[in-house]
Structure formats: structure tokens, C-alpha cells
Amino acid sequence: MNKTQLVNVKPPCIYYERCGGCQLQHLSNESQNQVKQEIAEKYLSSFGKVEDILVMEHPYEYRNKIQYSFGYGRKKELIAGMYAENSHSIIDIDQCIIQDPQADRIIHTTKKIMKKYKMEPYQEDRETGFLRHVLIRTGFTTGEVMVVLVTAHSIFTGKKNFIQLLTKEHPEITTIIMNINNRSTSMILGDKETTISGKGYIEDILCGMRFRISSKSFYQINPKQTEVLYNTALKMADFKGNERILDAYSGIGTISLIAARQVREVIGVEVNPDGVRDAIKNAQTNQVNNVHFYQADAGEFMQELARRNEPIDAVIMDPPRSGSDETFLNSLCSLKPQKIIYISCNPETQARDLEYLLSHGYRVQKIQPVDMFPQTSHVETVVLITRENK
């Protein structure tokens, strides 16, 4: 990518200066791409050539998941939005230009119903009120919508009327879940939840396969670019059809099931029980029989495979932003896969992990950035790593 002078523009979002959810709206799309390319190169160019970033044609309205907090404004008016960066101050937001527009409309309706029935938002400082957050997940291909009402307690006065009004205004809502979070915590979701309307999950289609998504399961935020990401990763892997591979952070089984069409067997490992349960259902729905999912710590699971001398030809890994710890990487090296496909949302921690892998007999073959989060400073990178034959 040719580097040119960055071009500043007027941010299209009126909340940009206060919100902090986006960091690059003050730059043109081309300049944003350049910044992300430079971030990837800063951390990864020492390992090899960084290919030009794969960008999104329409870099707006791509988020299929939103979570808004509810509270009172300065004039004691009901507000809903996101916390300002590094604070517990809620910014009242009517429209977020990077998320599904119908989610904004559902939030507006929720506020109207709350005012009608005098439903109080939860106030952290006083520990009073009822509704803490609303989480909305959308299946962009199926059109299914999940609404999760995160409440401070289980007593939902007027629940029937609330559901009727919300679903009448928004017939696209296919399920409503009540999640109870009565702890003083920054975590959005609590441990206990109940389905109060619909089937308790939504489905979406990704790379031609249907996936079940529950409230707590991980599913990529930007489905259109996820297809680009996964197709890029699998093309780089260049599977021949007879491989036995392991997906070390398998979630609801998205890349495991998509990769299963190209290999002999896939083993998916995920520590989140909700994700594993969805993954098993997804395998059944898509009639994929060469994938097996396990609930376990991926590092411990790989150590056990290594102890049993079970052959694994390739490992796909997509860890959290913090990357993988040394215990995991040590387990990965003990397993000795010929290929590692490392997907990361943080090139800095990815570079740290690559240093470890290179010191244990691996080398980097290809580096490909993908823009999964337009308008933000985040960049996804896929790196193909192979084992040196000595």
C-alpha cells in the first residue's frame, strides 16, 4: 500500500468526540486503511512482508451486536447509550453509524415503553432500579433478532405488556431473554437468565452454513468481513483434504465447521460451555460429521494430545486481544503441528506470540491484515506459520 499524507474529514457521527467507541472517524476511509496498514507493519513487518489490508466496501452499519446501558441524565431524563471512554458516564445515543440501524430503533421503543410504565433504569450508586442494559444480536442474513434485557433482579412487573408492545412495534424480534445481573460489576451479563419469548437463540448464515447463536456465545461482530477473514485464512492454510486439524478457540464452531469441508477431521476446543453447546447443535444442523467439540482449556487439551502422541497436522487459533499465554504456546509447540493459522485482533500481542513460536522451530510464511472494525483503530491479522523441518 502506497503511503500518502493522511486526509482529515468531518466525523459523520455527532457523538464521535465524546463516545470513544470509534477512533478514526476524523480520517477519510483511505487514510483509515493506511493507518491500519501501518499498525500491522509496525508489529509484524519484522517477520515478513505484510500484504495490503483487505478493506470493507461499505464501512458502516456492520455491527451485528450492540449493548446499551440505561440510566438517568443530568435532568433526570431516561437515557440509553454507551459509557464514555474510561468512565461510568452514559452518553445518550440515538444512532450509532457502525451498528445495525434496527437495533437503534428497538432501543428507542424500549425507552418509550419504560416511560409509559414508569420502569426505572438501574442506578449503580444507589443500587436501585430495574433495567441495567439491553443487548441486541442480529442475524444479518436470516433477519432474526435477539433482545436481552439485563435486569438487577428477577421481579419483572408488567412483563407481558412489555413483550407485547416491543414485539408489536418490532416483529423482527424472534426471541427475548431476561438476564439477571445483581452484582456490582462491569460485566454486562449475569449468570442466570431465562427465555421470556421465542426460542432463546437466533441463527445466522456464514459461508453458506447456518449457525445458532445464544446470548453469551462468541460470534464475530462483522459477518461480511468474517467471510473474507475465514476464506483468507483457509486459503492460506491450503489444506489438501487428509489433514486432522484443531481449532483451539472454537466458540460456536464457525471456522471449525467451515474448515471441515476441506479436511479429514476437525477437533474444536472451547472453554465456554454455551459456545460448545451451540457448536454441537451447529454441527448437527449443518450435517457435519467430521467435527468433534470439547469443553476444555485449549492448552491443557493440547498437552494431553501431545502426551498421547496424537497427530495434529494444523492448528487454527483465534485468541482474545491479550493473545495466548506461555502455557498455551508451550502446549502448542509440544503438539508440533506442521501448520499454525494464527488469527488475531491485536498485532502487538500476536507479534509477542510469534517471537515465542519462532524460537521453538517455526517460521512465518504469510501475513494478511483484514479490516474487521471500520472507523476504529482495531485491525485483524492472519498469519500462516509452518514448522521448520530439521
Band of residue 1 on the pLDDT scale cut at 50, 70, 90 = low
**Residue the block writes with cell 441463527:** 203
CB atoms within 10 A of CB 60: 16
299-338: per-residue pLDDT in tens?
A: 999 999 999 999 999 999 999 889 998 889 999 999 999 9
102-132: per-residue pLDDT in tens?
A: 999 999 999 999 999 999 999 887 889 999 9
**In terms of DSSP bridges, do strands 339-344 and 362-370 run parallel, antiparallel, or are they unpaired?**
unpaired
Average pLDDT over residues 82-92: 86
CA 214 to chain centre: 13
Are the beta carbons of 112 and 76 closer than 8 angstroms? no
Count Cα neighbours of 128 within 13 Å in the Cβ-side half-sphere.
4
Range of lowest pLDDT (72-76, 129-133, 283-287, 374-378): 72-76
Average pLDDT over residues 266-293: 96
Average pLDDT over residues 221-247: 97
65-206 CATH, one of 2.40.50.1070, 3.30.1330.60, 1.10.10.10, 3.40.50.720: 2.40.50.1070
Average pLDDT over residues 350-363: 96
Q: Counting Cβ atoms within 10 Å, is residue 307 exposed (0-12), middle (13-18) or buried (19+)?
A: exposed
Nearest CA among 225, 199, 221 for reference residue 212: 199
Whether 389 has a pLDDT exceeding 80, the answer reads no
Whether 186 has a pLDDT exceeding 80, the answer reads no
What is the predicted pLDDT for the residue at 104? Answer: 96
What is the predicted pLDDT for the residue at 69? Answer: 95
| Active-site residue, 333 included | no
What is the predicted pLDDT for the residue at 20? Answer: 87
- Residues facing residue 366 across a β-bridge: 384
Q: Which percentage of the chain shows pLDDT scores above 70?
A: 99
252-269: per-residue pLDDT in tens?
A: 999 999 999 999 999 999
Q: How far apart are CA 161 and CA 117, in angstroms?
A: 9
Count Cα neighbours of 72 within 13 Å in the Cβ-side half-sphere.
17
Secondary structure E strands in the chain: 65-72, 78-83, 90-92, 131-138, 145-151, 173-180, 192-198, 202-206, 209-213, 244-247, 265-270, 291-295, 314-317, 339-344, 362-370, 380-387
Please state the CATH superfamily assignment of the domain spanning residues 16-59+222-387 in this structure.
Vaccinia Virus protein VP39 (3.40.50.150)
Angle value at C-alpha 349, between 27 and 217, nearest 5 degrees: 85
**Residue the block writes with cell 504469510:** 366
**Domains of the chain: which residue ranges?**
16-59+222-387, 65-206
Band of residue 85 on the pLDDT scale cut at 50, 70, 90 = confident
What is the predicted pLDDT for the residue at 265? Answer: 98
- Say which DSSP state 121 is in: B
Angle value at C-alpha 261, between 256 and 262, nearest 5 degrees: 95
Radius of gyration of the chain (CA): 22
What is the predicted pLDDT for the residue at 126? Answer: 82
> What region, left, alpha or beta, does residue 105 occupy, with left being phi > 0 and alpha being psi -120 to 50 degrees?
alpha
Average pLDDT over residues 177-190: 88
Q: How far apart are CA 211 and CA 112, in angstroms?
A: 33
Q: How far apart are CA 1 and CA 171, in angstroms?
A: 45
**Residue the block writes with cell 442506578:** 123
DSSP for 329-341 reads HHHHHHH--SEEE
12-56: per-residue pLDDT in tens?
A: 999 999 998 999 999 999 999 999 999 999 999 999 999 999 999
Q: What is the mean pLDDT of the chain?
A: 94
Q: How far apart are CA 300 and CA 303, in angstroms?
A: 5
Band of residue 390 on the pLDDT scale cut at 50, 70, 90 = low
CB atoms within 10 A of CB 24: 22
Q: Read off the pTM.
A: 0.92
- Say which DSSP state 15 is in: T
289-302: per-residue pLDDT in tens?
A: 999 999 999 999 99
Whether 185 has a pLDDT exceeding 90, the answer reads no
What is the predicted pLDDT for the residue at 86? Answer: 75
